């Protein structure tokens, strides 16, 4: 049985130089054929060089077992090779042995010291951007299995595949910036994989924002965390949003004493409308509820409370969690239909940022997040929240900076509040 390889897969398999060692990375978008080509190469090497010893690893063992090993087994089946005759899977050693004496060890790189005594002919690294540079360097030093004179055109090979790094890291530095003659960088956009189901890329275009799509589907090197945190926000995202007393009203909360930040929204299945904000200095959860009641005393629809999952922890100063306080207080005002909808724990902030940006402007051009001018502090965040230069951390003002410019203290919390809601309803799987 044969395969028709994609252009980048062929490039990945073939070595265009004469060096004894080949180091290659297949950097591709989601579903661009990374795992497929890595495992295919591993098997071809085992069949061609009888007695070769390979190591296949990833930062976590689940990735090796559930993805990479499965892909090896699928190829073996495709080649009509039979377990027990042509190859053996030795589960206790997590090792694949071929009848010609070649073998492949499947390992995690979590404890790289355990791999220090190996002498190898090839190494495959799954999801290379998760693996530290130090592990990669250690593996380079393991490429010293003695070469069998019968092996024609043998080269030691380290090959890996990866999604593009979210910011330029060691892979970019090693394979592009300071590239050696025997290091190869192969870029594979998802859009070139003709074996994917119809509409796969269109679906991602709808889900992701432009920059994320460019990096994780088109496989281009980008810097997702450079400059402004919120990308592509335009006047089209600003709307006069009329508060609707009969619709569900969402309050999405970030709890702080100074400033407390709650943003109010209506939402539909696929859109969100932030129509007001309650951002108060030196206050309490109960007082913020009073402010809400003074603005919306006659709300008839349901009230749904979203926000920071850690606001559900009982703080040492209060008997109740923030959410229980809000619920009780709103009930005391006569609101009956109140629901708390928060995650059991907060996802990493990166997830919220990606979800928020994707709603603002997806790669297929849709805008699904709208803000009323009344949400002054939220807009202030959208236009001013930035990453620190050269880091993926958000640039937050210091205490002294806040003292000299009071406005700065409103950075971050209103964005946090709004993005909790967005991530709750429209999370992007990463």
Out of 133, 195, 320, 333, point to the residue binding ligand ATP (CB under 6 A): 195
- Residue 328 CB, nearest approach to Mg ion (Å): 49
- Residue 221 CB, nearest approach to ligand ATP (Å): 17
Binding to ligand ATP (CB under 6 A) within 4-23 occurs at: 4-6, 9
Residue 195 binding result from Mg ion, ligand ATP, none, given CB thresholds of 5 to 8 Å by partner type: ligand ATP
Distance CA 128, CA 126 (A): 6
Name the one range near Mg ion by CB under 5 A: 29-37, 91-99, 287-295, 372-380: 29-37
Of the candidates 247, 250, 237, the residue with the CA atom closest to the CA atom of residue 307: 250
Residues in Cβ contact with 143 at an 8 Å cutoff, skipping those fewer than 6 apart? 21, 120, 121, 122, 123, 156, 158
Q: What torsion do the CA atoms of 261, 267, 271, 275 make, to the nearest 10 degrees?
A: -50
- Fill in the per-residue mask, 22 to 61: x = in contact with ligand ATP (CB under 6 A), - = not in contact: ------x-xxxxxxx-------------------------
Residue whose CB is less far from Mg ion, 66 or 202:
66
- Residue 197 CB, nearest approach to ligand ATP (Å): 9
Distance CA 145, CA 222 (A): 37
Residue whose CB is less far from Mg ion, 305 or 428:
428
Residue 33 binding result from Mg ion, ligand ATP, none, given CB thresholds of 5 to 8 Å by partner type: ligand ATP
CB 229 within 8 A of CB 392: no
Residue whose CB is less far from ligand ATP, 34 or 184:
34
Beta bridge partners of 23: 158, 183
Residue whose CB is less far from ligand ATP, 195 or 383:
195
- Residue 95 CB, nearest approach to ligand ATP (Å): 22
Distance CA 34, CA 427 (A): 25
Query: 3-class SS at 252?
Result: strand
CB 421 within 8 A of CB 306: yes
Report if residue 35 touches Mg ion, rule: CB under 5 A. yes
Give the H or E element holding residue 140: helix 133-140
Distance CA 102, CA 24 (A): 21
Report if residue 129 touches Mg ion, rule: CB under 5 A. no
Q: Which residues bind ligand ATP (CB under 6 A)?
A: 3-6, 9, 28, 30-36, 193, 195-196
Q: Which residues bind Mg ion (CB under 5 A)?
A: 34-35
């Amino acid at each position: 049985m044969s395969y028709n390889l994609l252009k980048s897969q062929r490039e990945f398999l073939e070595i265009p130089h004469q060096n004894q060692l080949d180091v290659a990375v297949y950097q591709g978008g989601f579903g661009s054929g990374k795992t497929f080509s890595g495992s295919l190469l591993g098997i071809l090497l085992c069949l061609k060089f009888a007695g070769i010893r390979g190591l296949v690893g990833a930062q976590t063992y689940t990735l090796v077992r559930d993805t990479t090993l499965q892909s090896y087994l699928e190829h073996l089946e495709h080649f009509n090779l039979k377990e027990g005759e042509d190859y053996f899977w030795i589960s206790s050693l997590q090792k694949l042995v071929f009848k010609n004496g070649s073998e492949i060890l499947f390992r995690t790189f979590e404890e790289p010291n355990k791999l220090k005594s190996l002498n190898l002919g090839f190494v495959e690294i799954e999801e290379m951007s998760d693996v530290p540079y130090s592990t990669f360097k250690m593996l380079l030093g393991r490429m010293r299995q003695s070469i069998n004179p019968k092996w024609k055109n043998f080269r030691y090979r380290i090959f890996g595949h990866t999604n593009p790094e979210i910011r330029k890291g060691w892979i970019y530095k090693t394979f592009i910036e300071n590239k050696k003659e025997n290091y190869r960088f192969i870029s594979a956009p998802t859009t070139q994989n003709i074996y994917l189901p119809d509409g796969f890329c269109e679906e991602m275009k709808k889900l992701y924002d432009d920059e994320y799509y460019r990096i994780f589907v088109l496989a281009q090197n980008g810097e997702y965390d450079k400059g402004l945190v919120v990308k592509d926000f335009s006047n089209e995202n600003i709307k006069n949003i009329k508060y609707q007393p009969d619709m569900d009203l969402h309050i999405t909360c970030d709890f702080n004493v100074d400033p407390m930040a709650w943003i109010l929204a209506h939402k539909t299945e696929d859109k969100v409308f932030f129509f007001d904000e309650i951002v108060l200095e030196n206050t309490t959860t109960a007082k913020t509820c009073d402010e809400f009641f003074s603005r919306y005393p006659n709300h008839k629809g349901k009230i749904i409370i979203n926000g920071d999952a850690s606001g559900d922890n009982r703080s040492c100063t209060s008997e109740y969690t923030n959410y229980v306080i809000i619920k009780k207080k709103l009930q005391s005002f006569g609101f009956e239909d109140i629901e708390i909808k928060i995650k059991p724990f907060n996802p990493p902030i990166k997830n919220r940022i990606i979800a928020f940006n994707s709603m603002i402007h997806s790669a297929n051009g849709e805008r699904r997040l709208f803000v009323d001018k009344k949400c002054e502090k939220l807009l202030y965040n959208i236009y001013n929240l930035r990453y620190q230069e050269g880091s993926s951390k958000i640039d937050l003002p210091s205490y002294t900076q806040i003292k000299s410019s009071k406005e700065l203290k409103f950075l971050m919390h209103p964005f946090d509040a709004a993005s909790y809601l967005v991530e709750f309803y429209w999370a992007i799987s990463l």
